[in-house]
Amino acid sequence: MARIPAARVSAGFVLLLSALTAVGPLTFDTYLAAFPQIAADLNAPAAAVQLTIAASLAGLALGQLTIGSISDAFGRRRPLLAGLGVYVVVSVALSVTDNITVFTGLRFVQGFSAAAGMVLSMAIVRDRYEGLAVSKVMARLMLVVGVAPILAPTIGAQLLRFGSWRLIFVFLAVVGATLLVVATFALKESLPIELRRTGGTRAALRTYRDLLTDLPFLGLALMSAFYLGAMFTYVASSTFVFQDGFGMSAQQFGWVFAGGAVAITVGSQINGALVGRFTPEQVLSGIVLVGLVLSMSLFATTLADGPLWLVVTLLILTLGTAGFVLPSAPAIALATNPHRAGSAAALLGALQFGLGALIAPLTSIGGTPTAETMAGVMAGTILVSAVLLLGVRRSWRRVPNAVSVEADHAVSPAQTDARIPVAASVTVSARRSTASASGLGRRRADGSARTDEPDAVPCPG
């Protein structure tokens, strides 16, 4: 089987999409070190402040479902710019509020608007790339996205040295405004009019229904959602665990948090290097097992009152496994849904962040989160992910292991490179049928099969 040339990846294109995706981590992580100060300033208990993360996660989940579906019908550019505009306004409002209830409501809206950058960046990648190229670009996105969690808590901690927690939300407003200006002038529409969904709300609901009844897609989405639930548990609990439980300063906590972010980034880049040698399915199967062993070890260590260095080490290694899951799971899930990438990315993200919103507050049951409750919830969610992965793997085994070019008699040797989006080591998710791997699985905006156009790998540069 012939191999197509790798698509050229524009560094500026990847940087812009990564920055848009990083709005989410910045929104969640920058104010973590300020939790004790916010609780004191707004006269609110720790659980109420922790609930603001759950509110923003819920907003992010709902925002992805709404904005992702809208983008399939109206394109990616306009919903993205509108979301960034709302984000700026809400961030300014958060900087002046003095009531925890209002603060929580605004965090929901902030999460909703932040969803635009996250879900549409993923959809734009799927618009422009096919096959293994999706995994490669996702891995490159994660390299830059990893900088946001690394810097966010440290930036927040440093801002607290020059002002109150309100300065953090002024900073987020400036970030949102900057991205709005850059995206307005630099980001072009990636979804052609002829490929947009028609039919209004009914068609959107039908698309989500089809995705929810696609058991391999749903199983993979839930698997990654529970795995991400472990990350959100850490995000929501870590400031109390390390600052209140272990007596760390805001600056020390920032460095610990940065260590986890570095691990996620390194994991994502190792994952990118493995693409082509191993399929994303193989990577997921191995890494979820490693994550399960590490998380169970972390839980056992906290129960035994193990030393701080061992707790931090096991925690960082566990978080590092998420760097493999984050690019691999979306690549597999989106590979079989090119004609509804916005809705598929939205549902994937909504399940991830929706479950995160439900799971993250569990550590507050019974009082302030502790190392034991944090590690226990993390281990439990990764265990659920491992069980779900076992079910998803059964559907992978039923898919043929290779795609023969000869099976598509319409493909001539001269057309091979243009019509086959991946090499002989093509991932199982990208070769679910001869038609989809040959570029015949694309659909028109009305949902009908489109068999007259190749499924080449376009170049964003």
- Tens digit of each residue's pLDDT (9 = 90 or more) over 250-259: 778 878 877 8
Residue whose token pair is 């996702």: 138
Find the Cα–Cα–Cα–Cα dihedral 276, 282, 288, 293, rounded to 10°: -100
In order, the DSSP letters of 102-170 are HHHHHHHHHHHHHHHHHHHHHHHHHHH--THHHHHHHHHHHHHHTHHHHHHHHHHHHHHHHS-THHHHH
Nearest to 155 by CA among 245, 57, 27: 27
Residue 192: Cβ within 10 Å count: 10
278 beta partners = 275
pLDDT the model gives residue 301: 94
CB 294 within 8 A of CB 318: yes
Q: Which residues lie closer than 8 Å to 367 by C-beta, 6 or more apart?
A: none
CB 163 within 8 A of CB 36: no
pLDDT at 2 over 60: no
In order, the DSSP letters of 20-65 are HHHHHHHHHHTTGGGHHHHHHHTT--HHHHHHHHHHHHHHHHHHHH
Give 183 or 216, the one with higher predicted confidence: 183
pLDDT at 439 over 50: no
pTM summary value: 0.63
Buried (b) or exposed (e) across 246-273, using 16+ Cβ within 10 A? eebebeebbebbbbbbbbbbebbbebbe
75: left (phi over 0), alpha (psi -120 to 50) or beta: left
Give 156 or 205, the one with higher predicted confidence: 156
HEC string of 321-357 equals: HHHHHHHHHHHHHHHCCHHHHHHHHHHHHHHHHHHHH
Per-residue pLDDT reduced to its tens digit, 357-386: 788 778 877 777 888 999 999 999 999 999
Question: One-letter amino acid identity for 146?
Answer: G
CA neighbours within 13 Å on the CB side: how many for 28? 34
Give the chain's length: 461
Give 272 or 404, the one with higher predicted confidence: 272
Cα–Cα distance between 82 and 75 in angstroms, integer? 12
pLDDT at 65 over 70: yes
Distance of alpha carbon 294 from its chain centroid, rounded? 22
> Sign (positive/negative) of CA torsion 50, 345, 286, 255?
negative
CB 16 within 8 A of CB 76: no
Give 76 or 190, the one with higher predicted confidence: 76
Cα–Cα distance between 17 and 143 in angstroms, integer? 12
Give 300 or 126, the one with higher predicted confidence: 300
Residue 303 is encoded by which pair of tokens? 């129960």
In terms of C-beta density within 10 A (0-12 exposed, 13-18 middle, 19 or more buried), how is residue 459 classed? middle
Packing angle of the helix pair 11-29, 100-128 (nearest 10 deg): 160
Query: What is the mean pLDDT of the segment spanning 125-153?
Result: 67
Q: pLDDT band at residue 314, thresholds of 50, 70 and 90?
A: very high
Nearest to 179 by CA among 167, 187, 170, 190: 187
Residue 131: Cβ within 10 Å count: 23
Range from 238-242, 335-339, 414-418 carrying the lowest mean pLDDT? 414-418
pLDDT at 270 over 50: yes
